[in-house]
Amino acid sequence: VTLMDANYVMDETLGTSTFPISSLKLGEKKEVQLTFNDVTEMTLEFSLEVCSSTDLRFSMALCDEEKKFRHQRKDNIMHSMKSFLGEEKSKNLTTSRDVPVIAILGSGGGFRAMVGFAGVMKALYESGILDCATYIAGLSGSTWYMSTLYSHPDFPEKGPKEINQELMNSVSHNPLLLLTPQKVKRYIEALWNKKSSGQPVTFTDIFGMLIGETLIHNRMDTTLSNMKEKINNAQCALPLFTCLHVKPDVSELMFADWVEFSPYEIGMAKYGTFMSPDLFGSKFFMGTVVKKYSENPLHFLMGVWGSAFSILFNRVLGVSNSQNNCPTMEEELENIRLKHLVSNDSSDSEDESQHPKGAENAEVHQEYQNSSQESWVQRMLMALVGDSALFNTREGRAGKVHNFMLGLNLNSCYPLSPLADLLTQESVEEDELDAAVADPDEFERIYEPLDVKSKKIHIVDSGLTFNLPYPLILRPQRGVDLIISFDFSARPSDSSPPFKEILLAEKWAKMNKLPFPKIDPNVFDREGMKECYVFKPKDTSSEKDCPTIIHFVLANINFRKYKAPGIPRETQEEKDFADFDIFDDPDTPFSTFNFQYPNEAFKRLHDLMEFNTLNNIDVIKQAMVESIEYRKENPSRCSVSLSSVEARRFFNKNNLN
């Protein structure tokens, strides 16, 4: 037991005393007097009880709420899909069992991804495609748009058209305007309360506040759980968000556990551990909450989901000390993938042990007060965290929460695919993987387990491993038939092949023995740059349960000539508006690190992706028809028998290491 003296600059450690829990008998209550530093005495009451239930759900199955949602959603989709496809194309859609499961995916890419996804969602909403989707999954920048949309009080009655107008106004201002003394003071007060309660605070918390103030400034108290009202009658697609759990001293490309977030649950499918959203961040031991905190606000999660930008925040704000001879921000973000993000910083120790003791506080504080390198913002925030790691190390800007798997006995990891042992090894031959992605170290350590002895875990932007949220959608229990993905990832130029991220997703899927269509990068040589590419199983009889993927990329092709599908641009003003490059523009208006979008840049990117989506509606319709036919011929596609498979009891309370 550690006794602390609360202090504004940093808490002071007064002393530590030890009490052996083994001396307690089951059901006994006992008052114990503890002495600290021979001068302070304190009396505490201890009791020992057996906990018969856990707050974590141990299962590979979807939660009951999601199962109920899927059942309701199928009925809703059946009517929407018939209307969208027309009578002739939907003739095989006779019962809800014939309804294919469709997922919409949005990649990372900062505000570029957010603005592009805004245009996509407007097209999907107004065309009726969104009413045919069961899931919408986002990563990093796309999650920011999903958060804005699903937290909006008027959605879905008010569509993306009106909400996107509000978004355009929100992102037209410089984010530095949010760093006023008054607002920073408010940030610090909120984070100080969080830190004082015993929760870790990093720069991701502050970044989340900035993102929240920019995008959802009038609903900063909303939470992920609040989104349930948008899906309680299956009236909207179920939103799925993601981040990574990463290990100290290991590159994100080599090891990362995907964490999934929905309004129903947060957890890791790799371990079959899930909890309700209000418990994420609370203190757990052996699957049970030992200290519950208030549910994290949505803006904190937005900061976590897009934390690659908090990791490089000095670059985002343009305050890096070395402006010359440094890599571009796009290159620096790419370099993070190749290095370990967090070091072994005693993150498994208690909060209080990380602070200097006694008189050292004043010296530490004075050192940073005297530093001429820090702005007033940094000095104010330094008081919150007590050291310069918040600004000067990437680790200080990675998200951190209490480890909800602390104390569990992790004998093995449950395969993401329950059929893993039944699949032939041919699907993951080395030459096939090497052909997909050249780096042999990628995903090398993905089979390793989480450290159940660490008291805290680091959580970071999923885009640091690959930039598309396929792991959420590829869970066999979700039985997705058709994936419509939108990739807003940065490329060296507008003419560069657009398959880097989906090839990484393919490799990850193959290594986890999950069905995934063959991604042939040579299609770029044969067909050139297109607005979208279709990848589907070559032989559905041998590639069972393999989804079809419609992969949209960020490309300005037909939009230059047409203001709407089939309607040519006529005036010079219309032509000038559409005559722009995305990655080749020397002014880089669409840089991943651009956090301010003037109205014209917003409209260009938004309208481009809206056009590209609408311009390929026939492609989407055809894929839907084929999915209906496949679903009718293979009614067990949804893995019905597997959806209720419980995770093997590799979490054993009675056999701790």
Query: Do 284 and 432 share a domain, yes or no?
Result: yes
Query: Do 276 and 336 share a domain, yes or no?
Result: yes
Query: Do 19 and 97 share a domain, yes or no?
Result: no
Residue 147 lies in a domain: yes
What confidence score (pLDDT) does residue 375 get? 54
Query: Do 38 and 85 share a domain, yes or no?
Result: no
What confidence score (pLDDT) does residue 199 get? 92
Residue 615 lies in a domain: yes
Query: Do 29 and 94 share a domain, yes or no?
Result: no
Beta-strand (E) ranges in 536-607? 548-553, 562-564, 567-568
Sign of torsion over alpha carbons 241, 246, 251, 256: negative
Per-residue confidence at 201, pLDDT binned at 50, 70, 90? confident
Residue 376 lies in a domain: no
Query: Do 172 and 88 share a domain, yes or no?
Result: yes
Helices 64-89 and 617-633, axial angle in degrees (round to 10): 110
Residue 383 lies in a domain: no
Query: Do 145 and 32 share a domain, yes or no?
Result: no
What confidence score (pLDDT) does residue 192 get? 83
Residue 648 lies in a domain: no
Query: Do 205 and 295 share a domain, yes or no?
Result: yes
The yes-or-no verdict on residue 368 having pLDDT over 80 is: no
What is the pTM assigned to this prediction? Answer: 0.83
The values of phi and psi at residue 582, to 5°, are: -100, -50
Q: Which domain holds residue 36?
A: 2-47
The yes-or-no verdict on residue 384 having pLDDT over 80 is: no
Q: What is the pLDDT of residues 307-351, one digit of tens each?
A: 877 666 555 444 444 443 444 445 555 554 444 445 454 444 444
Query: Do 532 and 618 share a domain, yes or no?
Result: yes
What confidence score (pLDDT) does residue 463 get? 87
Residue 386 lies in a domain: no
CB atoms within 10 A of CB 47: 10
Give the catalytic positions in this structure: 140, 461
Query: Do 508 and 569 share a domain, yes or no?
Result: yes
The amino acid at 14: L
Q: What is the pLDDT of residues 289-302, one digit of tens each?
A: 999 999 999 999 99
The yes-or-no verdict on residue 281 having pLDDT over 80 is: yes
Residue 540 lies in a domain: yes
Query: Do 26 and 71 share a domain, yes or no?
Result: no
Please give the structure tokens belonging to residue 298.
Answer: 């949505």
Which CATH number characterizes residue 238's domain? 3.40.1090.10
What confidence score (pLDDT) does residue 329 get? 46
The yes-or-no verdict on residue 647 having pLDDT over 50 is: no
Q: What is the mean pLDDT of the chain?
A: 82
- Number of structural domains, the chain? 2
Task: Report which of residues 98 and 655 the model is more confident about.
Answer: 98
Q: What is the pLDDT of residues 598-642, one digit of tens each?
A: 999 999 999 999 999 999 999 999 999 999 998 888 775 544 333
**Cis ω on the peptide bond leading into residue 156 (within 30° of 0)?**
yes
List b or e across 50-88, with b for residues whose CB sees 16 or more CB atoms inside 10 angstroms.
eeeebbbbbbbbbbebbeebbebbbebbbebbeebbeee
Cα 329 from chain centroid? 21
Q: What is the pLDDT of residues 42-62, one digit of tens each?
A: 999 988 887 777 899 999 999
Per-residue confidence at 500, pLDDT binned at 50, 70, 90? very high
The yes-or-no verdict on residue 428 having pLDDT over 70 is: no
Residue 186 lies in a domain: yes
Q: What is the pLDDT of residues 529-574, one digit of tens each?
A: 999 999 999 887 778 889 999 999 999 999 999 999 999 999 999 9
DSSP code string of 446-505: TTSPP-TT-SEEEEE-GGGT-SS-HHHH--GGG---EEEEEE----SSTTS-S-HHHHHH
Residue with tokens 């203001």: 563
Query: Do 96 and 15 share a domain, yes or no?
Result: no
